[in-house]
Amino acid sequence: MGYTKRIDTLCGLLSKTDVFADVGCDHGYCTEYMLGHGLCERAIFSDVSKGSLAKAERLLAPYVRAGRAVSVLGDGFYGVDESVGLVLIAGMGGCEIVSILSDVKHGFMPKKFVFQPMHDGEKLRRYILENGGYIDKDYTFEDGKFYEVICGGNVKERGQVCDEHPYTDAEYEFGRDNIRQLPEAFQKRLKKLIGNIDRYLKEPNLQEESRRELLEKRARFEGVLRGEIK
Ligand SMILES: C[S@@+](CC[C@H](N)C(=O)[O-])C[C@H]1O[C@@H](n2cnc3c(N)ncnc32)[C@H](O)[C@@H]1O
């Protein structure tokens, strides 16, 4: 696909749809991918920042001229309604994504979504599963840094029910596919976090309570790595 590995990974998770919405599009690469590969008939690309949106407007100008893409300067789902087939929100914090989904005026649970939160993945998973959403892919990948991706949709739109098992606390915290399959990138991320904790633990002036908390966290990460915490 020729973008960064992160963008390529996101593009690889986007499925064919009628109308695609890229919220917080910045450069607009994912919208370019969807339109250029015939994966959507029309696209809405939006951003709250005029400067960011201008980049996407330059890239997508031929599609806008052809009436296949619409640019929206606005916050969250402003200009994007529930009829869109697939929503991408990537590169924002999990709490920001929750605030977009739960916005009193414009919020909704999309028919299908790909979310890539930069942090607070747990809060986003809880919001999705407690507010009419389902998750069918939920894992960590690496592109220099570690990223989480959460894909799913609105339960009202789902045909066959795939997995009705409730998420465990560990699955909320780390992602279901990570807990069940322990993919390489996730193991690497946990080992890195354990390494960070080991460095903090060497700090001579560390408060006793902090040391205890760090040791608990370390034990939890080790338990997840060994597949003992599900
Ligand atoms: C780090 S960039 C990510 C861009 C692209 N989605 C990606 O994954 O590469 C985050 C973008 O989201 C935009 N953004 C942040 N909060 C937003 C909101 N509430 N509504 C719309 N756009 C938002 C920012 O202006 C910025 O362009």
Over the stretch 171-204, which tens digit does the pLDDT of each residue have? Answer: 999 999 999 999 999 999 999 999 999 999 999 9
Amino acid in the structure at residue 114? V
**What's the whole-model pTM score?**
0.97
In angstroms, the CA 61 to CA 190 distance is 42
From 49-63, 96-110, 158-172, the region with the lowest mean pLDDT: 158-172
Closest CA to 144 of 2, 1, 7: 7
Element containing residue 11 per DSSP (H, E): helix 5-13
**What residues does each domain of the chain span?**
5-165, 184-225
- What is the whole-number distance in angstroms between the Cα of residue 25 and the centre of ligand 1? 6
CATH code that applies to domain 5-165: 3.40.50.150
Position 10 scores a pLDDT of 98
9's CB contacts (< 8 A; 6+ apart) are 141, 143, 147, 149
Query: Are 139 and 10 spatial neighbours (Cβ–Cβ below 8 Å)?
Result: no
49 close to ligand 1 (CB < 6 Angstrom): yes
For ligand 1, say whether the CB of 8 is within 6 Å of any of its atoms.
Answer: no
What sign results for the dihedral spanned by CA atoms 42, 4, 95, 172?
A: positive
- List, for residues 1-30, the tens digit of each pLDDT value: 679 999 999 999 999 999 999 999 999 999
Q: Give me the pLDDT at residue 141, please.
A: 98
Does 47 contact ligand 1 (Cβ within 6 A)? yes
